[in-house]
Amino acid sequence: MDDPDTQIEPANLRFLRRLVTVLTAVMICGLLVIIGLFVTRLGTATAPLALPDTITLPDGTTAQAFTQGRDWYAVVTQTDDILIYDRMTGTLRQSIQID
């Protein structure tokens, strides 16, 4: 029997082995880049908008949902009204009836 150290490796197998090694290195580098982007992007995230302390709803309404923007917040009521309030003053800006 031939000694395994003296056998000559076919060119196709050598090429395939190098290709797998290069692809593994590229995948590791890509994973490190993605992790680095996550760390840098999440580290620079802006602070979330603060919730208002109190919201005064019209009499007889019950809140069902809440959402907010930079200078406004909105409350959806059980009667399918959207009440849009000014964030700074807390006054009602607009009321929208959903049909």
- Locate the domains of the chain by residue range: 4-43, 49-99
Which residues, given as ranges, of the chain have pLDDT below 70?
1-6, 45
CB 63 within 8 A of CB 33: no
**pLDDT on residue 7:** 74
**pLDDT on residue 5:** 62
**pLDDT on residue 34:** 96
**pLDDT on residue 22:** 98
**pLDDT on residue 99:** 79
- What are the CA-CA distances from residue 71 to residues 50, 58, 74, 95 (Å)? 11, 21, 11, 16
CA distance 29 to 53: 47
**pLDDT on residue 53:** 84
Encoding tokens for residue 80?
């399918």
Predicted structure pTM score: 0.54
**pLDDT on residue 9:** 80
